[in-house]
Structure 1
Amino acid sequence: MNTYIKGLLCCLLATLSWGAMFPVMTHALTRIDPFNFTTLRYGIAGIAFALLLLFREGRPAFQLKNQRWGLAWLFGTLGFAGFGFLVFLGQHLAGPSGALTASIMMATMPMLGLLTIWALKKVRPHASTFGFILLSFSGVMLVITNGDMSAILNSPASLTANLLLIAGALCWVIYTIGGSYFPDWSPLRYTTLTTLLGMTSVSATDLVLIGTGLITVPDAAAVTVVIPHLLYMALIAGLMAVLCWNIGNRIITPTNGVLFMDVVPVTAFIVSALNGMVPTHVQIAGAALTATALVLNNLSQRKMLRQAVPDTVLKVSTVRR
């Protein structure tokens, strides 16, 4: 198989899996809270990642001596505790439409990524990018308000849910960028070690919430009911999707990979519609607006990159003369 096609298929598989996970969580969240579910989910995924890393790279891959393990723990905490808790709590608070709202929030990650890179690495986005960010945000607003902008002010619960979703998306963006701080680690090693380190924060948070009575230990009946959801979230949307995403982006580059984030809300809309939660025309228009902003920004970046290459060649040629 052509390597580039392999990269495309990996990104497509990942985003299809992530798009379906929000409707899956709609049913799971009626039986178990987001915190215990996240702990169980990443516990299963962490074991699977560890076994895979042991098989592929051996015991030395788990050694953290002279490694930036503190930074890896931070990124793992943001990616798994931050994303898992905040996004699914936000989806739970958003009610029946939470899957649609959460999925379109994930499509804003590329735009959030540009702003995060600007903040962390001082790489300022081009002026046109800010216009695309505004366009993307407008699409998100249409989805979460269904065209009624006053709903945000009149519904504190919805506002809280949306802020949690944005915060969770930002956590995943920072986690993804975190991979660039470990260039010597394979995608599998970065994913595995950050999952295992992040699980310390996931478990500690869960225990504190149980100890303070804010949540309760799920009973055996509830866990049994959500086992299919857990397996999907841990092994498909977790293990398989994250690895495919990292492999695919390494092949086709993140500039092309981010376009596949449009698949997430489309998949979520289709699965939700099959389950009886049909998006309105306004919500579909909002999702299309956000997708358009993402595509236009990607094309703009490609154009600027093509223009920059001849300029660089010209400067080099001039210096040699």
Structure 2
Amino acid sequence: MSKKYFSGLILCLIAVFSWGGMFPIMAPALKIMDPFYFTLFRYGSVAIIFTIILLITEGPKAFKAEGQSLRLWIFGTSAFAGFSFLVFLGQQIAGSSGAIIASIMMAIQPLLGVLVGWAYRGVKPTIASVIAMIIAALGVFMVVTKGHPATLLAGQNTIWAVILILLGALCWVIYTAGGADFPKWSILRYSTLTSIYGVGSVIVLLFIATTFGWLKVPTVSAITGVSGALIYMITFAGVIAVFAWNMGNRIVGSINGILFMNLVPITSFVISIINGYKVSAFELAGCLITICALVGNNIYNRVMVIDDF
């Protein structure tokens, strides 16, 4: 194994460990501040950091949309408004098990990517991918219900939490797929411009919601109360994770890199257990089933690629 390839693996690990830790860390923060204003503080700061780095490295010309403003707005809003709003609202609704459910949903993003590729680019999923989706869905169902299917309809809003988190995960997949539409742009440029457009949407939505009384501007004490979570989400789960992930995937390849997403729920499980969350046997089994489905689909795709050659 070359040093470069090894460094790519380390970068992927840094990214997924950072993302795996963000759900348990967000659990107490969501009890203090709503996920909407938290999104503004988080991604507003990330957009500023990206902007400064892009200005220094590529200059003012890199900020020109080149006639792609609508696409940048769609993809940016999907990622920096849709993902964060929906996923963390779902986690908040789910309560104590929200971190586990959210992390499992993040792990099935590769399979959601298959559906997006089919709808957006006309690439039909293989039979193996369809089977993997069904098995992964079974694993997610086990994690969500903990062996008690009636909880989905027992008035605990669990089903709504799952739907919101799933839609949020889909938003991030759409954003990731959109990056392929800008092959001549650097990863930094795409990340920066989409974050600017996305945060613009966040500001507009928050202004409307606050004006109509649906949301309230957080107090200084609330902002102070989530300062630790904000620092983590801006740095580790934001700027560092995004750059590490994109750079690591360029080195090891997307087929190898996507396997690391399986570590997101494992990381969340470990941190949640350390924090006192009691994981049931059904949750553990569901997590393993979902991961096995993803790994199996990945291995099948590897074999098919080799056979094509």
- Per the normalisation by structure 2, the TM-score is 0.97
**2: distance between equivalents of 1:178 and 1:63?**
17
Partner of 2:35: 34
Aligned to 1:214, the other structure's residue is in SS state coil
CA contact (8 A) 1:142 1:282 kept: yes
**1: distance between equivalents of 2:151 and 2:18?**
31
**1: distance between equivalents of 2:258 and 2:147?**
27
Partner of 1:319: none
Are 2:198 and 1:187 aligned?
no
**1: distance between equivalents of 2:112 and 2:155?**
25
- Deviations, residues 113-132 of structure 1 (Å, cap 9, x unaligned): 01110111111111121111
Partner of 2:94: 94
Q: Which has the larger radius of gyration?
A: 1
CA contact (8 A) 1:269 1:278 kept: no
Write the mapping of 1:230-241 to structure 2, written as runs, cut at 5 A: 230-241=230-241
Write the mapping of 1:124-273 to structure 2, written as runs, cut at 5 A: 124-155=124-155, 157-273=157-273
Partner of 1:54: 55
- Deviations, residues 120-174 of structure 1 (Å, cap 9, x unaligned): 1111111121111111111000001111122212236111111000000000000
Aligned to 1:67, the other structure's residue is in SS state coil
**1: distance between equivalents of 2:123 and 2:103?**
28
Q: How many Å apart are 1:278 and its aligned residue?
A: 2.5
Aligned to 2:74, the other structure's residue is in SS state helix
Residue type of the partner of 2:126? H
**2: distance between equivalents of 1:194 and 1:27?**
29
**1: distance between equivalents of 2:64 and 2:119?**
31
- Deviations, residues 4-27 of structure 1 (Å, cap 9, x unaligned): 222211111111000000011001
- Per the normalisation by structure 1, the TM-score is 0.94
Are 2:25 and 1:24 aligned?
yes
The unaligned stretches of length 5 or more in structure 2 are none
**1: distance between equivalents of 2:279 and 2:206?**
33
Aligned to 2:124, the other structure's residue is in SS state coil
Q: How many Å apart are 1:67 and its aligned residue?
A: 3.5
**2: distance between equivalents of 1:11 and 1:209?**
37
Aligned to 1:218, the other structure's residue is in SS state coil
- Deviations, residues 288-321 of structure 1 (Å, cap 9, x unaligned): 1000000000000011111111xxxxxxxxxxxx
- Deviations, residues 182-220 of structure 1 (Å, cap 9, x unaligned): 001111111111001111111111111111111111000
**2: distance between equivalents of 1:25 and 1:112?**
24
Runs of 4+ residues over 4 Å off in structure 1:
none
**1: distance between equivalents of 2:4 and 2:77?**
33
CA contact (8 A) 1:41 1:230 kept: yes
**1: distance between equivalents of 2:187 and 2:247?**
7
Q: Percent identical across equivalent pairs?
A: 45
